[in-house]
Structure 1
Amino acid sequence: MYNDESQLYFDFDDYSDGESVCQEDLNFCAVQAIKNASAILDRFENLELLSVLEHENKIKKIDGHSSFVFRAVDSVTDKKVVLKCLDPLFSQRIAGISDIDTDIDYEKLFEWEDKILFELKNNRHTPSVIGRLSRAPVLIEAGGKTFSHTLSYIAIENLNIELKKAFFDNSSPSLLKYAKRLRLFCQILNAVCSVHGGGVFHRDLKPSNLMAKSGRQKDGVVLIDFASSCAEKNIREKIRLYPEKWHGTEGYASPEILCGLPPENELASAQDMYSLGCMLYELFGCRTFKQKLYETNPGYIETLENCRVYPNDGNSFAERLEVFNSYLDEFSRSVRPVALGDEADVPSFIKQEIDLVIQRFTSFDWRKRPCKEDFPEIRRKLFCLSKVMENTHLRSEFKRRKSLHKKRLIEKSAVRLVSAMPKTEA
């Protein structure tokens, strides 16, 4: 099958000179190759591409994704599964083709995620693994040539509820809707606490990495995409594979990461806490937490630079962390906490309580953020707030006061308009 001279080793360097093939074309060729690979078709049927934009034989992946994700049917069990396939461009790590970070070994990250999911196989807040990391030969036809490539893929259970739809949604706001979102956040806390209890820290928590499954309501939120995760020492020694470089999402990155410290050891948990605070804000707001943070603190980038830690600031992680903590003591008080403001249409006393939780999770000083031992208290507080917002009398009274307030604003506006009109002589 691979003896023909035209079947070359998969190498996109052929497109680096002369007439180039665009990223979307390469994506389309890779996806078609995966769908037609005999090793894939022997086990899976009806592959449906997810998490991309498709148009006229061109495929544009969502920014930052190093994998193609398919929904398929397992021909053995006849159940729907999800196939996560490493993009050949990322597995080859070829510079000059796209903005791929060539310092990251994506094959190693893919293998790490497979082993972490297996380590957490009994955790109901992580996806069940249907098929461990496998590799299959594929033929990719692009630019009139045929390339051979070994594809890495993982099969996990099909999770059909995307919880990211609950974020950044201010359409038809109501207290009942916000109460449900607080309960959702409590379930997110449960999932994170459960994974931390298993010795694993996600380090890339964001709305798109939160899923659920019909019929598994009792299990609640399921965390996906553990490629950026880290684990406690005993798990690392057991797996004997550990990605050295963090590659999470900058919009949910904690200040210590942006200041040059890797989210390891005690900072791994602190990173997850910060991401949780960002998401709690985004459940009530229509903008990202990062946008509001930079708006609230015009000098935020300068503060980050003042706290930046460099490799020569110490001979070990502990020494550099000590230097960073000294910077926090000096500069962290200059960062103003983010508040919901008018973006969340809830009573002010509830808004103040939610603001306090957000500010605790997103504290610039990692030492002031909660730990998993604080979760029961935080859950109780948020659950009580959700019960208050579900109260029929409160919702009716809040609606009446909003209507009255709107009427008064209209009346005041009309009075100002009349007073501003020129008076005519009789």
Structure 2
Amino acid sequence: MSLSQNSQLLVSALEAIPLLNGRFEKIKLINVNSFNNEKRGCFSLVFSAHDIIEDAPVALKFYDIHPDLMNDDYRRACFRREHDILQILINKSRCLQLVSALSTFNLIIPFENGSEVTLPCEYFAVEWINNDIDDYFYRQENFDPLDKLQLFNELTLAIEALHRHEVFHRDLKPDNLRQYQDALKRIVVAIDLGTAARFSSGAIQQRYQHNVGAPAYAAPEAIIGLAGHRKLAPYTDCYALGCMLYELFNRDIFYRALLARNPRCHAIYACMSMELQGITNEDEKLKAWKQAIGKFSSGIEPVHIDAPGNTVPPGITSLLNEVLRLLTHIDYSKRPINLGWVRARIGATIKILKHEKLYQKRLASSREMRLKRMEKQQRKINSLHKFVSYRNNYANE
């Protein structure tokens, strides 16, 4: 979506203001592509700023005043729900932190006749986490498998932290994850909770039929019309986590790999979707989906992590395939929402690689010592040869 005139007025006003709310300065829009004026994100304008009270960078999230969004009750409710969820996560480890509560900036719009109108603009501030994890996916060949597995373990901990507080992200992808260093430890945090929900979150819109989050990371049940079902929310996060595991070791994205392995995938999804037609009750719809899984799921072959060109060390392939198969299982009930199980399996692969590294290090050291011994022996032999040669020459004289 391009920036509207309303949005451009808001951006100009904020970037020109010396101090917002007595604490935020140096405000700069960051979620719009400067080349084509296209905005990233569904309903927010995101600005970087400096908080003079905390002396720290922050992100300011404004509800976009695009004319198409001004009276969109659903999107505005999602924006406010994100703020409410962030309040629940205050002081919770590995969770994005709210810096300033929901506030209103009054945008003054003057007219040529001297009159003016005031447009209220809602916003809140969250902590700024600068370091993304994109390179691990787009330049994966530059990273050691052990480092990628340790990153994935951190991704799992980040999602586990949200789930511990009954918060389900529903839009997990590399773009929505950031990392920072705490002493010598890397911490990953999930950002952009605009589509997040809790078990207790009431439905904003009844019979929501659209996909939630990025289609490439969306679980089958979300694609066919069950994206808003609260019981399925933790399982959809697990599916996206599995997609990212695949993409840490393969150049292709998981979604394309799934279609390549299952050319009739969309047709099967369409058949499964038809099983839900005409059902409005959420519990009945879920029951119908379970029946559809029983009828059609055998037609979907699982994706293997060791696809052509993969960077998975051979010794851990079977373990990672087990994790990938269950995280991305078409039957949501087979996915391990107990993410401790996932971390245990990833921990096992990390131990294997560490032991292999240690073995290779010892082997290299042993070879080096053997080479030094051989060189030492060769020097002794050479010295002996020189001595014998010298003695023979002396005797002949």
Q: TM-score range by the shorter chain?
A: 0.7 to 0.9
CA shift for structure 1 position 116: 0.4
Deviations 1:317-358 (A, max 9, x none): 221111111111111111111123123233334233222211
Answering whether residue 120 of structure 2 is matched by residue 150 of structure 1, we say yes
Of the candidates 222, 225, 244, which is equivalent to residue 189 of structure 2? 222
Of the candidates 311, 329, 336, which is equivalent to residue 301 of structure 2? 336
- Structure 1 unaligned blocks of 5 or more: 1-21, 95-101, 398-426
Of the candidates 315, 320, 328, which is equivalent to residue 362 of structure 1? 328
Q: Give the corresponding residue for 1:401.
A: none
Measured in 2, the distance between the counterparts of 1:288 and 1:135 equals 40
Q: Give the corresponding residue for 1:50.
A: 30
Answering whether residue 122 of structure 2 is matched by residue 194 of structure 1, we say no
CA shift for structure 1 position 310: 6.6
Number of equivalent positions:
357
Listed as ranges, the matches of 1:355-394 within 5 Å are: 355-372=321-338, 374-388=341-355, 390-391=357-358, 393=360
Higher mean C-alpha deviation, range 278-287 or range 302-311: 302-311
From the superposition, tell whether residues 91 and 159 of structure 1 become closer, same or farther in structure 2 (CA, over 3 Å): farther
Q: Secondary structure at the match of 1:286?
A: coil
Measured in 1, the distance between the counterparts of 2:204 and 2:19 equals 29
- Which residue type is aligned with residue 350 of structure 1? I
- Structure 2 unaligned blocks of 5 or more: 365-397
Answering whether residue 264 of structure 2 is matched by residue 299 of structure 1, we say yes
Give the conservation status (yes or no) of the 8 Å contact 2:235–2:335.
yes
Answering whether residue 135 of structure 2 is matched by residue 168 of structure 1, we say no
From the superposition, tell whether residues 47 and 273 of structure 1 become closer, same or farther in structure 2 (CA, over 3 Å): same
- Which residue type is aligned with residue 23 of structure 1? S
CA shift for structure 1 position 374: 2.7
From the superposition, tell whether residues 179 and 33 of structure 1 become closer, same or farther in structure 2 (CA, over 3 Å): same
- The two structures, once aligned, show a CA RMSD in angstroms of 3.2
Q: Secondary structure at the match of 1:61?
A: coil
Q: Secondary structure at the match of 2:91?
A: coil
Measured in 2, the distance between the counterparts of 1:261 and 1:231 equals 15
Deviations 1:357-390 (A, max 9, x none): 1111001111111122534533433433442564
Q: Give the corresponding residue for 2:389.
A: none
Measured in 2, the distance between the counterparts of 1:284 and 1:364 equals 21
Give the conservation status (yes or no) of the 8 Å contact 1:277–1:361.
yes
Q: Give the corresponding residue for 2:377.
A: none
Measured in 2, the distance between the counterparts of 1:315 and 1:87 equals 32
Give the conservation status (yes or no) of the 8 Å contact 1:294–1:300.
yes
From the superposition, tell whether residues 309 and 42 of structure 1 become closer, same or farther in structure 2 (CA, over 3 Å): farther
Deviations 1:158-202 (A, max 9, x none): 1111123321324446xxx12111111111111211211111111
| TM-score when normalising by structure 2 | 0.80
- Which residue type is aligned with residue 368 of structure 1? K
Give the conservation status (yes or no) of the 8 Å contact 1:201–1:231.
yes
Give the conservation status (yes or no) of the 8 Å contact 1:112–1:241.
no
Relative contact order (C-alpha < 8 Å, sep 6+): which is higher? Answer: 1
Measured in 1, the distance between the counterparts of 2:109 and 2:261 equals 49
Measured in 2, the distance between the counterparts of 1:213 and 1:351 equals 29
Q: Give the corresponding residue for 1:159.
A: 129
CA shift for structure 1 position 219: 6.8
From the superposition, tell whether residues 285 and 91 of structure 1 become closer, same or farther in structure 2 (CA, over 3 Å): same
Measured in 2, the distance between the counterparts of 1:164 and 1:147 equals 43
- Which residue type is aligned with residue 46 of structure 1? K
Answering whether residue 39 of structure 2 is matched by residue 61 of structure 1, we say yes
Deviations 1:189-237 (A, max 9, x none): 112112111111111111111112244664711111112112123xx4x
- Identity fraction in percent: 26
Measured in 1, the distance between the counterparts of 2:301 and 2:355 equals 29
Q: Secondary structure at the match of 2:48?
A: strand
- Which residue type is aligned with residue 13 of structure 2? A
Q: Secondary structure at the match of 2:126?
A: strand
Q: Secondary structure at the match of 2:124?
A: strand
- Which residue type is aligned with residue 32 of structure 2? V
Measured in 2, the distance between the counterparts of 1:142 and 1:337 equals 61
Give the conservation status (yes or no) of the 8 Å contact 1:135–1:150.
yes
CA shift for structure 1 position 70: 1.6
Give the conservation status (yes or no) of the 8 Å contact 1:252–1:278.
yes
Higher mean C-alpha deviation, range 197-206 or range 243-252: 243-252
Deviations 1:262-281 (A, max 9, x none): 34333111111101001111
Measured in 2, the distance between the counterparts of 1:153 and 1:119 equals 17
